Amino acid sequence: MSATHPFTLLFLAMLALSTLMRLYLSQRQISHIKKNRAQVPPAFADNISLQDHQKAADYTIAKVRFGRLPLFYELLLLLAWTLGGGLDWLDRNVMQYGFDPIFTGIIVILAYTFISSLLDLPFSLYSTFVLEEKFGFNRTTLKTFFADMLKGSALGLVIGIPLLYVILWLMEQAGEFWWLYTWVVISGFSLFMMWVYPTWIAPLFNKFEPMEEGEKLQ
């Protein structure tokens, strides 16, 4: 698609507007936190010390500021995948193997997800082992970090591949109302995951213990 195509120009304009809005909101958040850093909100004054409040404020500011770097990085990646032809290149390379169209689509999506995850990995590592470590919030080891990543990837494949297959099959076979059937499938899947996640999935990555009776429950 030409760089001067109306849809391309609209895409770039919306992308720029979205980025500027996110930067503006992040700055508003930082300004608000700085403004209220010196005093614990009255509603929490009996339970949170000023030192803990300021530590949380400093951590949030640092995290928001750091979040601007991956924001620009993700912007460049999005442009590379779309206008730069990255998705088209990936699709052509997968299509040359002659797979069924649905399986071709699944492989392209999985390959895109895998590459994007690898490219995002440095930011996740820095956020966990540098930023959170600095403020004493990190309880994760490298072993746990990568173990959770592998478990998440395996779970994503088990859940994601059947869902992708159904969606791509509907797009190919369900006619002009494919989008409606797809919406029903995705909505049903989302409701199912809301029920399944707390009981079966979350315990794979986190340890949960019942809260004790007393002030913690108040």
Write down the domain spans for the chain: 147-204
pLDDT band with cut points at 50, 70 and 90 for residue 14:
very high
pLDDT band with cut points at 50, 70 and 90 for residue 201:
confident
Closest listed residue to residue 34, CA positions, set 53, 61, 52, 59: 61
pLDDT band with cut points at 50, 70 and 90 for residue 218:
very low
Name the token pair of 14. Answer: 């919306």
Q: Is the pLDDT of residue 205 over 90?
A: no
Q: Rounded distance, CA 36 to CA 100, Å?
A: 58
Q: Is the pTM of this model over 0.95?
A: no
Q: List pLDDT tens digits, range 47-99.
A: 889 999 999 999 999 999 999 999 999 999 999 999 999 999 999 999 999 89
Closest listed residue to residue 147, CA positions, set 205, 186, 199: 205
| 99 Rama sector, left if φ>0, alpha if ψ -120 to 50, beta otherwise | beta
Which DSSP string corresponds to 137-184?
A: -----HHHHHHHHHHHHHHHHHHHHHHHHHHHHHHHHSGGGHHHHHHH
- Tokens 């986190």, located at residue: 206
Please give the pLDDT value at position 3: 56
Please give the pLDDT value at position 214: 55
Closest listed residue to residue 189, CA positions, set 203, 170, 208: 170
- Tokens 């990543």, located at residue: 149
